[in-house]
Chain A
Amino acid sequence: MKYVYYPGCTLYTKARSLDACARKAAERVGFELVEMPSWNCCGAIYNTASDDLAAQVGSVRNLAKASQLGDKLVTLCAACHNVLKRVDDRLNQPGNEVERNRLITFVDEKFERRVQVMHYLEVLKNDVGFDKVKEKVTRPLAGLKVASYYGCLMVRPKEVLQFDDPENPQVMDELMRALGAEPTKFDFKTECCGGYLVVNRRDVAKTASKRILDNARAWGAEAIVTTCPLCQYNLDKLRAGDSSIPVFYFTQLLGLATGLAPEELGFDCNSFDPVPFLESKGLLS
């Protein structure tokens, strides 16, 4: 199975480990990510601007380009996924033809079809199947208690994202179970991590992140797993000083369980070094 893949800017910089593990782990579980050439910004960073045109046109071009390459477009970054999915929805809403025609005039690329925007987790769940993933596990994450943190962008708005229950999502929990880990109960799966407030109100973001980590640890979690680079940054970096809990991308744990070498897992990107913890659990030997 081959999928058109849209990494997005962060996966080339801060979230390299999210990207690298995803590509290699995909091969292990039986599909291939083919990066679309000359992709551009998804538009997420314009979302706060008063005119939302800029926030959309970028994704219109990405979607049009992807439609020339295949029928499924796979994303990893929660923000990119959210923007692409919402723009796709706006383009295809019945009764929204005027806006659609206005938007597509801004880009040179022509739409060949409607691409299905899929998150990597959806590929694993719906196309590959968690049973199949389980078969490919060579290093089960036995004894690892992990809390799955989804954040806001993956699940909302529910009608558009159609990802999972917006109040109590389960997809990553199921994946963790398939990898042999033990997903813990966790009340703050979708509470705000502080988001971009980390830029100008670091204290607010820190309070928000601390609350999430405290709740996870109260439920006995030893690690947190997420799919959003900004969430990972806030949870990992803001608490790096006094935290005892590593924050992984789900692809890092997927890679670990499917037998990638420790140096392929990009742990150097984590602020809080998870290697001693993983060694103590006997998961790197």
Chain B
Amino acid sequence: MKSEVQGPKSETRNPKPRVGVFVCHCGINIAGTVKIPELVERVGKMPGVAVVKDYKYTCSDPGQQMIRDSVKNDQLDRVIVACCSPTLHETTFRNACAEAGLNPYLCEIANIREQCSWVTEDKDKATDKASGIIRTVLAQAENDQPLESIVVPINKRALVIGAGIAGIQAALDIANAGYEVVLVEKEPSIGGHMAQLSETFPTLDCSQCILTPRTVETGRHPKIKLLTYSEVESVSGYVGNFRVRIRQKARYVDFDACTGCGLCMEKCPGRAESSFERGMARRKAIYRLLPQAVPNRPVIDPKSCTYLTKGKCGVCAKICPTQAIRYDDKDTFVEEEVGAIVMATGYELFDATKLGAYGAGEVPDVIDGLAFERLLSASGPTSGEVKRPSDGKAPKRIVFVQCAGSRDSTQGMPYCSKICCMYTAKQAILYRHRVHDGEAVICYIDVRTPGKGFEEFYKRATDDGIQYLRGKVSKIFRQGDKVVVWAADTLAGRKVELEADMVVLATAVVANPDGVALARKLKTQIDTHGFMTEAHPKLRPVETLTAGFFLAGCGQGPKDIPETVAQASAAAAKVLAMFGSTRLTHSPTVAVVDEEICVGCGNCERTCTYDAVKVDEKRGIAVVNAALCEGCGACAMSCPSGAMNHKNFTKKAICEMADSF
């Protein structure tokens, strides 16, 4: 009973607590392999075990009730549930114990499903193994101490990193619920890649038209602090209480004085290639990304400004009616305190020049999907007329190449980029709207249309006379003023040579490299391709394993606009759920230092990936920040003196567990 457990001292007086073991059949998942009656009999003979019971589905209501009743009636002070992995039902059973009055941290899980019945064929061996696992956990349970959850306060402000449509949506949702948001964007204005798009599939509504109301609302929202042309330098602290250091890049323009009149941009003689126009146009040295920019203020690119490089010119300063130009501007730093962080760092396109056979970068009329969006866009370099980059002529035949770098484990990325089938169909349709006698050929491997209205949209493309050719493109090269595409037509079983005026590569969606670098710096988990990893692929899709960090948009994986917006709102909902409570609880199974043994060598500090352990220089001992500690145990393993231990998983317990097996 709970009254018997009063901490370490009473434990030493009563070294053999009363343990109840509950063996779950998990339908046939466990019972199909492990011989339950034999197991129950063997467990019953183990020293210290007061009660053994088995049940078909222990996680069901009657199953939990059985545990609650047994805790009370059999006066149990330790509970072991032999069932599935603790990641699934540890919380369920600990809560059941707590309801019955037992400290929840005195309940342990013996995993006899994933680690036993699922991976063992022989029934006798499986039964032996299950018995061994339970005996081991018994040794652990006997060492367990009652623990209390750690409680931390919450700072109810959120940081959103990246102001594409994902970041904008998350920021607006949180701000509209009444909480302050700091929205950080590395570019001079917000909107991300969506601002570059022409029309959006499958409804063909203008991207800019649906985006601008959101960007304007974001820019004017009283609860949103917008930091453009800024990057997150570092994050310290822990869930509910982060300290964020943000670098505000030198803009050379005083945003408060500037009215956005645009005179400076008219007169500026400096030129540079425009990355917003995917290199197909040049911009001024003082520039904004697009006419609808939010904030509508220009910045100076120090690399192409003649005043900042050579000390000559100064036209913008002379002409500015409000004297807003600041040539002596420097990078500045801002510190913000927030309770939750949404990572919305977005995507980039795979570098097509890495696909040596496709001629990108060498043949000017081979461009990628985003570049073609700019050619279709009314605000693009050709004002929406489709003109090819080499000579400005309207292309009469365009070949679209899908899966350029996607589904390609040798040269590109092994995954499907998900959006290319649809945006290629869209681009082909829009091209034929602009160039009526134009011919569009789409080379594809499969056409994937798993979305609302997607299949109908694909049908529209084929009905519109767009040719679909099933086969991978092997080579693209220039011949005279034509671009030649070699492909296979796998339905007809022949090799095809297509002469085109222009080629559009639907290059793979990859995680934004700046986002990947940031995720590495902030130690949020990323997968082998740099996409951020969700805490659970099905059940916790917008959380990360680092508490307080949430995910939205293409930084987590390729997705289209509706899905991005849905995910961003989900991330915002998670932040709001957190802000809805006044305090946060944190698992107490964390590292703990025996201050009398610790010599302050610092191994633990160097090992910790959560920055949860620091050596106190004055006292010469390690100190654990329990709110930051995730209880991984790495510090305990690295401690040479044995001073560092993991609560309820002490070195003594581990040794006894090993001995008992």
Contact = CB atoms under 8 A, between A and B. Distances in A.
Given A165-B356, A187-B359, A218-B479, 4 more contacts: A167-B355, A167-B411, A168-B356, A188-B477
Interface string A163-196: 0011110000000000000000101100100000
B478 to A, nearest CB: 7
B250 to A, nearest CB: 38
B480 interface: yes
B527 interface: no
A167 B480 contact: no
A122 B77 CA distance: 72
Interface in B402-441: 410-411
Contact of A185 (B357, B362, B479): B362
21 contacts: A158-B410, A165-B356, A166-B356, A167-B355, A167-B356, A167-B357, A167-B411, A168-B356, A168-B357, A185-B362, A187-B359, A187-B475, A187-B477, A187-B478, A188-B477, A191-B475, A215-B477, A215-B479, A218-B478, A218-B479, A218-B480
B172 to A, nearest CB: 45
A215 B480 CA distance: 10
A66 B475 CA distance: 39
Nearest to A168: B356
Contacts of A166: 356
A223 to B, nearest CB: 20
Interface in B355-394: 355-357, 359, 362
Nearest to B354: A165
Interface string A203-229: 000000000000100100000000000
Nearest to B353: A168
Contacts of A191: 475
Contacts, number: 21
| 3 A-B pairs with the lowest CB-CB distances in the bound complex, closest first | A168-B356, A167-B356, A187-B477
Contacts of A187: 359, 475, 477-478
Nearest to B359: A187
Interface in A124-159: 158
A104 B480 CA distance: 54
A218 B362 CA distance: 14
Interface in B534-564: none
Contacts of A165: 356
A168 B475 CA distance: 11
Nearest to A186: B477
Interface range, A side: 10 to 19
Nearest to B484: A187
Interface string A15-46: 00000000000000000000000000000000
A226 to B, nearest CB: 18
A188 B357 CA distance: 9
B57 to A, nearest CB: 45
Contacts of A215: 477, 479
Nearest to B358: A167
Contacts of B357: 167-168
Nearest to A218: B479
Contacts of B477: 187-188, 215
Nearest to A215: B477
Contacts of A168: 356-357
A246 B451 CA distance: 57
Contacts of A218: 478-480
Interface in B320-336: none
A195 B477 CA distance: 22
Q: Tell which of B356, B362, B411, B475 has the most Cβ of chain A within 10 Å.
A: B356
A185 B366 CA distance: 15
Interface string B469-487: 0000001011110000000
Interface string B450-478: 00000000000000000000000001011
Contacts of A167: 355-357, 411
A185 B480 CA distance: 14
Interface string A88-116: 00000000000000000000000000000
B420 to A, nearest CB: 21
B204 to A, nearest CB: 36
Contacts of B480: 218
B365 to A, nearest CB: 14
A187 B358 CA distance: 9
Nearest to A185: B362
A75 to B, nearest CB: 24
Nearest to A169: B356
A218 to B, nearest CB: 7
A232 to B, nearest CB: 22
A68 to B, nearest CB: 37
A191 B477 CA distance: 12
A158 B410 CA distance: 10
Contacts of A188: 477
Interface in A239-271: none
Nearest to A164: B356
Contacts of B410: 158
A218 B480 CA distance: 7
Contacts of B475: 187, 191
A215 B475 CA distance: 13
A215 B482 CA distance: 13
A90 B359 CA distance: 34
Nearest to A159: B410
A221 to B, nearest CB: 14
A188 B362 CA distance: 14
Nearest to B477: A187
A207 to B, nearest CB: 13
A158 B355 CA distance: 14
A167 B356 CA distance: 5
Nearest to B476: A187
A187 B411 CA distance: 18
Interface string B335-358: 000000000000000000001110
A183 to B, nearest CB: 13
Interface in B191-234: none
A166 B478 CA distance: 19
Nearest to A187: B477
Contacts of A158: 410
A92 to B, nearest CB: 22
A185 B479 CA distance: 12
A191 B357 CA distance: 11
Nearest to B411: A167
A187 B362 CA distance: 10
Nearest to B410: A158
A185 B362 CA distance: 8
A111 B51 CA distance: 68
Q: Tell which of A158, A167, A188 has the most Cβ of chain B within 10 Å.
A: A167
A261 to B, nearest CB: 38
Interface string A45-58: 00000000000000
A187 B366 CA distance: 14
Contacts of B356: 165-168
Nearest to B479: A218
A167 B408 CA distance: 14
B183 to A, nearest CB: 41
Contacts of B479: 215, 218
A185 B477 CA distance: 10
B277 to A, nearest CB: 24
A80 to B, nearest CB: 25
A159 to B, nearest CB: 9
Contacts of B359: 187
A151 B355 CA distance: 18
Contacts of B411: 167
A33 to B, nearest CB: 31
B481 to A, nearest CB: 11
A126 B356 CA distance: 22
Contacts of B355: 167
A191 B475 CA distance: 10
A165 B480 CA distance: 26
A218 B478 CA distance: 9
A146 to B, nearest CB: 17
Contacts of B478: 187, 218
Interface string B248-276: 00000000000000000000000000000
